[in-house]
């Protein structure tokens, strides 16, 4: 009979929990059937680890031991059933145990998490496919539509808003100096548009097409926290007393800086969140079951957060390639065709399909000027990929094998 700690140190056990290895799944399903006395412990461990989305590499031995101590304490304090009636009561008690156990364990996880606010809860209500103009939603609920292809939104220290250097919003809520809590605004940049936001602290944020950005009218407290779904290039005003934090829809992932320049690509349709550092230094913050882990980046590095495995991969890159989009240029070197096409779809607000006979994962190298017509851009893409394209309708194109 295995001890609980041995389960956590068994890679096949973790593979079974996270369903990453078919052989491990078969082995542990059969193991449970053959070792019924261990089933309760196994299922409790599975429930805890499944909820907190932890992996062996993310748990220290001390953290594992704390989980095991709670499991053992609760199990050993259960009273044995003595009758059918007692069996029923014991079943209810066991159900309550699971709730208590999960609540106790998750308390530490959520208490230490930096994601106490969940502004993304309603963000998906903005269907980018159906929005033609950039939309600014202020805290009072008022919406302002911006028709320009490229827009500039500036917030001063008082939280007042100026659109495109000409229109000043009557933002009385932001100018109220008695407000003690941060008031969040939302900027929705649809496909085919881009925007620049100057935050109240002087930081500048370039927002790419298909991006949703949540930020306070004025920063209050000892942190400057913003929320990103999409892509943005940040030029953060330095303030050693107020770190600047970028949160994404991935609860365990955030970026912490004091003052620097960096690019973040965090579209919910992509498999990874990419952070590229141009100047200064940033910390990639991984929230864990107990506390957090910080990974320091240096200029010229890319950090790729895998949304599924929750791992971070660091590598050296040409940062210039990752921030040229702010100048209306996409430059790529040995990048998959499908990733390049995603960027083009967002910028031009079109749909591009792949013929089933075409390998969309082939790598291509080149440069696209997004001031060109869509036809010239597509021609450059298919030339680099040795294929061809055809127009299906006014908004849809198809890339095919060039026979």
CATH code where residue 345 lies: 3.55.50.30
382 and 338 share a domain?
Answer: yes
Task: Please give the residue range of the domain that contains residue 154.
Answer: 119-320
Query: What are the 10-residue block averages of pLDDT along the chain, 403 residues in total?
Result: 65 76 82 82 70 49 58 52 47 49 47 49 61 86 88 84 78 55 89 94 96 92 93 95 91 88 93 95 80 87 92 93 94 90 93 88 90 94 92 93 78
Is 332 found in the same domain as 200?
no
pLDDT computed for residue 399 by the predictor: 93
The phi and psi torsions of 63 (rounded to 5 degrees) equal: -65, -40
* Strand ranges in 143-271 using DSSP code E only, listed in sequence order: 143-146, 150-155, 161-163, 167-169, 184-189, 194-198, 204-207, 211-216, 224-235, 244-247, 253-257, 261-266
Whether residues 131 and 248 fall in one domain: yes
- Together in a domain, 315 and 368: no
- The count of domains in the chain is 3
Based on its alpha-carbon atoms, the radius of gyration of the chain, rounded to whole angstroms, reads: 25
Q: Same structural domain for residues 258 and 316?
A: yes
How far apart CA 99 and CA 174 sit, in angstroms, is 42
What is the pLDDT at residue 113? Answer: 43
Angle at 275 between CA 296 and CA 381, to 5 degrees: 150
- Amino acid 181: pLDDT: 77
- Tell whether 131 and 71 lie within a shared domain: no
Q: Which of 265, 329, 319 is nearest to 297 (CA)?
A: 319
Residues 255 and 310 occupy one common structural domain:
yes
Reported pTM: 0.70
65-89 per-residue burial string, b: 16 or more CB within 10 A, e: under 16? ebbbebbeebeeeeeeeeeeeeeee
Measured between alpha carbons, how far is 38 from 72 in angstroms, rounded to an integer? 12
| 250 in the same domain as 301 | yes
pLDDT in tens, 332-379: 888 899 999 999 999 999 999 999 888 877 899 999 998 999 999 999
Q: What is the pLDDT of residues 99-151, one digit of tens each?
A: 544 454 444 444 444 444 556 655 555 567 678 899 998 877 788 899 899 99
CA-CA-CA-CA torsion sign (9, 10, 13, 14) = positive
Burial class (CB in 10 A: 0-12, 13-18, 19+), 403: exposed
Same domain, 181 and 288: yes
Same structural domain, 80 and 174 = no
pLDDT of residue 57: 44
What is 47-111 written as a DSSP string? HHHHHHT--GGG--HHHHHHHHHHHHHHHHTPPPP-SHHHHHHHHHHHHHHHHHHHHHHHHHHHH
Judged on CB neighbours under 10 Å (0-12, 13-18, 19+), 37 is: exposed
What does the pLDDT read at residue 356? 87
């Amino acid at each position: 009979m295995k001890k609980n700690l041995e389960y956590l140190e068994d890679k096949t056990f973790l593979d079974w929990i996270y369903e990453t290895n078919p052989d491990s799944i078969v082995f542990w399903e059969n193991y449970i059937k053959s070792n019924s006395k261990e089933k309760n412990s196994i299922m409790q461990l599975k429930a805890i680890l499944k909820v907190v989305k932890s992996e062996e590499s993310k748990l220290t031995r001390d953290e594992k031991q704390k989980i095991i101590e709670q499991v053992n304490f609760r199990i050993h304090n259960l009273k044995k059933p003595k009758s059918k009636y007692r069996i029923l009561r014991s079943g209810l008690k066991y159900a309550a145990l699971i709730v208590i156990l999960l609540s106790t364990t998750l308390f530490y996880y959520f208490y230490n998490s930096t994601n106490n606010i969940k502004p993304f809860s309603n963000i998906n209500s903005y269907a980018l496919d159906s929005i033609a103009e950039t939309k600014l939603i202020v805290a009072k609920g008022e919406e302002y539509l911006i028709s320009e292809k490229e827009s500039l939104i500036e917030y001063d220290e008082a939280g007042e808003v100026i659109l495109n250097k000409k229109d000043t919003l009557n933002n009385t809520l932001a100018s109220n100096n008695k407000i003690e809590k941060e008031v969040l605004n939302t900027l929705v940049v649809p496909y085919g548009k881009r925007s620049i936001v100057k935050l109240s602290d002087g930081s500048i944020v370039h927002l790419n097409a298909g991006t949703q950005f949540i930020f306070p009218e004025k920063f209050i407290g000892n942190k400057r926290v913003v929320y990103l779904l999409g892509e943005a290039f940040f030029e953060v005003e330095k303030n050693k007393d107020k770190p600047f934090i970028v949160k994404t829809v991935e609860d365990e992932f955030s970026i912490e800086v004091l003052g620097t320049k960096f690019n973040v690509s965090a579209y919910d349709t992509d498999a990874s969140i990419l952070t590229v550092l141009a100047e200064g230094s940033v910390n990639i913050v991984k929230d864990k079951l107990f506390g957090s882990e910080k990974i320091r980046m240096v200029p010229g590095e890319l950090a790729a957060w895998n949304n599924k495995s929750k791992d971070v991969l660091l590598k050296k890159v040409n940062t210039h390639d990752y921030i040229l989009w702010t100048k209306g240029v996409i430059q790529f070197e040995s990048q998959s065709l499908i990733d390049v096409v995603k960027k083009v779809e967002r910028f031009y607000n079109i749909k591009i399909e792949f013929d089933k006979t075409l390998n969309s994962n082939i790598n291509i190298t080149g440069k696209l000027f997004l001031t060109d017509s869509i036809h010239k851009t597509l021609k450059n893409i298919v030339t680099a990929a040795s294929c061809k394209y055809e127009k299906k309708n006014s908004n849809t194109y198809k890339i095919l094998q060039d026979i």
